[in-house]
A = this chain, B = another copy of it.
Amino acid sequence: MSVTISNLIHVLTKLPGIGEKTATRLAFFILRQPPQYAEALAKALVDVKEKVTFCSVCLDLTERDPCEICSDTRRDASLICVVEEPSDVLAVEKTKQFRGRYHILHGAISPLDGIGPDDIKIAELLKRIGSSDIKEVIVATNASVEGETTALYLAKILKPKGIKLSRIASGVPIGSNLEYIDASTLSRAFEARRQL
């Protein structure tokens, strides 16, 4: 096979969830497209690495600093939603429910992987809380072991500071059948039951 094709396949296999078969399929798809497609993708890749940096306030990915959300004065600056990754901001924004600002930890505490509180952006969060008027922090880390550990750690260090702290609810996802829900989610849903 052509060296340039096998090189493209090789680079594509580095992407998450893309094995050799999928990479080969993608490479041949790109070869069948008009050259504009490969050029547009190449330009988008270069652009994204050249133009996108981190917001100095919330640490989200952005093209301008502070980011759009941090510089939007209509949003409540005293309310912070703490998430693990920039992609989580997208997920929360889609709900159109949250009108405060964010803080991105860029990870979660995971002792098994050797990731402690100092390896994620917790110091930056504490500094932000110390220097501006933050009234409430909503912890929206994942409902995984790592996300829960991180939430517990944040509770331990933020509660003594007298900040209102909350954790997003866990439970049965809307639209699901109970028979397909795992036992830990279901027991959490029972614990957190609400009076009707």
Question: Nearest chain B CB to A135's CB is how many angstroms away?
Answer: 26
Within 8 A of B (CB), among A23-46: 24-31, 35, 37-46
Determine whether the beta carbon of A22 is less than 8 Å from that of B17. yes
Determine whether the beta carbon of B27 is less than 8 Å from that of A48. yes
CA distance A5 to B63 in the complex (A): 9
| Contact status of A38 and B45, CB under 8 A, knowing A2-B63, A5-B52, A16-B25 | yes
Question: Nearest chain B CB to A77's CB is how many angstroms away?
Answer: 20
| A41 cross-chain contacts in B, Cβ below 8 A | 11-12, 42, 45
Determine whether the beta carbon of B90 is less than 8 Å from that of A47. no
**Interface size, chain A (Cβ < 8 Å):** 47
Question: Nearest chain B CB to A28's CB is how many angstroms away?
Answer: 5
| Contact status of A16 and B26, CB under 8 A, knowing A46-B38, A52-B31, A63-B3 | yes
Asked if A4 is an interface residue, CB under 8 A from chain B, the answer is yes
Question: Nearest chain B CB to A40's CB is how many angstroms away?
Answer: 5
Asked if A163 is an interface residue, CB under 8 A from chain B, the answer is no
| Contact status of A44 and B7, CB under 8 A, knowing A25-B16, A49-B39 | yes
Asked if A158 is an interface residue, CB under 8 A from chain B, the answer is no
| A30 cross-chain contacts in B, Cβ below 8 A | 15, 45, 48-49
Asked if A1 is an interface residue, CB under 8 A from chain B, the answer is yes
Question: Nearest chain B CB to A7's CB is how many angstroms away?
Answer: 5
10 residue pairs, one from A and one from B, having the closest CB atoms: A42-B42, A8-B44, A38-B49, A38-B45, A42-B45, A35-B49, A4-B47, A28-B87, A11-B44, A2-B63
